[in-house]
Amino acid sequence: MDDSRPIFAQVAENIENDIISGALPEEGQAPSINEFAAFYRINPATALKGVNVLVDAGILYKKRGIGMFVATGAQEQLKGARRDSFSSEYVRPLLAEAEKLGIDSAQLTQMIAKEANNS
């Protein structure tokens, strides 16, 4: 909880990461607002705001009196959204740094292919 984006957005992103990784399975129960607040050491109102971002997006849904659950299809939905922003989030900064260092796109492609083979 320390980069410059709003804390609620970071909370939402952390929950998304847990859904993408499968740590929070679909139709599994998500921690409560107060559990999130205690875990991240943040005000419960901030935690609620973060969770509501995901409720509004249909990633989480509320069962009255029971708690919050991960919606079916949430994982695929989140992966799709992350794929859409992959270019601007990762590829463009990579190109900007490469340009700064004088690495042209052919060299860059080669480097990517090499790393992919190694892993």
Partner 1 sequence: MTSTIEVTNLSKHFGKVNAVNDVSFTVEENKIYGLLGRNGAGKTTLMQLLTGQEFASSGTISLFEQTPVENAKVLQNTCFIKESQRYPEDFRPKDVFKTAPWFFANWDQEFADRLIADFRLPLDRRIKKLSRGQLSSIGVIVGLASRAPLTFFDEPYLGLDAVARQIFYDRLLEDYAAHPRTVILSTHLIDEVSNLLEHVLVIDEGKLLINEDAETLRNRATNVVGMKTAVEAFIGNREVLHRDGIGGLSSVTVAGLSESERRDAHAAGLELSPVSLQQLIIQLTRTETKEFEASA
Least separation in angstroms between residue 22's CB and partner 1 is 28
- Stretch binding partner 1 (CB under 8 A), from 14-22, 41-49, 53-61, 111-119: 41-49
Stretch that binds partner 1, among 12-20, 33-41, 71-79, 107-115 (CB under 8 A): 33-41
Specify the residue, 17 or 87, whose C-beta has the smaller distance to partner 1: 87
Burial 42-51, CB ≥16 within 10 A → b, else e: beeebbbbbb
Residue 92 in the binding site for partner 1 (CB under 8 A): yes
Structure tokens at 34: 């107060």
| 54 scored as a contact of partner 1 (CB under 8 A) | no
* Integer Cα distance of 34 and 69 in angstroms: 15
Q: In this chain, which of 24, 37, 54, 59 binds partner 1, going by CB under 8 A?
A: 37
Q: Give me the residues that bind partner 1 (CB under 8 A), please.
A: 1-4, 6-8, 33-34, 37-38, 40-46, 49, 88, 92-93, 96, 100
